[in-house]
Amino acid sequence: MELSFKDKTVVVTGAAGGFGSSIARTFAAAGAHLVVSDIDTDGAGKLAAALPSAIAVTTDVTDPDAVRDLVDAAELAYGGIDVMVNNAGVPHRKGALVDLDVGTVDWQLAVNIRSVFLGCKYAVPALRRRGGGVIVNIASVAAKRPRPGLTVYNATKGAVITMTRGLAGEVAPDIRVNAVNPVVSETGFVKSLTGSDVLPGDLRKDWVSGIPMARTASPQDVANSTLYLASDQAGFLTGVCLDVDGGRSIQ
């Protein structure tokens, strides 16, 4: 069944790369107008220029004024928003919790939790002005199956899941709120995690060995799941946190 977003407006944060760019392209292919949001001005602009109907908005997702301005820009350009995808997020370098500096932890909390709060805070009134809509938050299966060395990151994604489920109860029935929980993916996430452009072979072998589908997640896997949760075909789904993990969470 084709999932159509013709004449719908979709805002995607962290859209210049990784999951975000695939999410934006997938919604665009389904007919949506895209608001491509990222702190990377050049990256957001290049992606928006490559889509049929899109604008780019430079956004620091940790800044309340910037997130409010993002929603305002979407409404000004397209008359409202129908879907908000809170995708922006960062890992910390793999290592023991006791070795993390407080600045790194504060940054994790700001980008991974505060940004989702702000995206929801400013999207909900806009979605209601539109008559309803959908929020999809990108969390992580790490919230449910935490790996050693990523304890604070795991915790931030656990907060996203709890926020998703709590908000779903608050804003139903006119707004649905769901989350996608990906397993590790070989995107820019890997460089932030390990300092390398590619997942080191020994680490990749170890992590993939715990995934029954025997591979990491692709950005398209995440984009397809996000599209579905935002679609009319998922109209009775809210508070759902969908594991896009190749079976990692059942191991």
Question: Coil, strand or helix: which one is 157?
Answer: helix
Among residues 78, 122, 153, 228, the one annotated as catalytic is: 153
CB 225 within 8 A of CB 163: no
> Known catalytic residue: 122?
no
Q: With 0-12 CB in 10 A as exposed, 13-18 as middle and 19+ as buried, what is 148?
A: exposed
- Which of these, 164, 126, 161, lies nearest to 145 by C-alpha position? 161
- Rounded to whole angstroms, the Cα distance separating 104 from 133 reads 34
Question: Coil, strand or helix: which one is 94?
Answer: coil
Enter the tokens of residue 250. Answer: 């059942």
- Which of these, 221, 242, 227, lies nearest to 5 by C-alpha position? 227
Backbone φ/ψ region at 80: left (φ over 0), alpha (ψ -120 to 50), beta: left
Q: Work out the number of other CB atoms within 10 angstroms of the CB of residue 102.
A: 7
Neighbour order of strands in the sheet with 33-38: 54-58, 33-38, 9-12, 83-86, 133-138, 175-182, 241-244
- Catalytic residue numbers, as ranges: 153
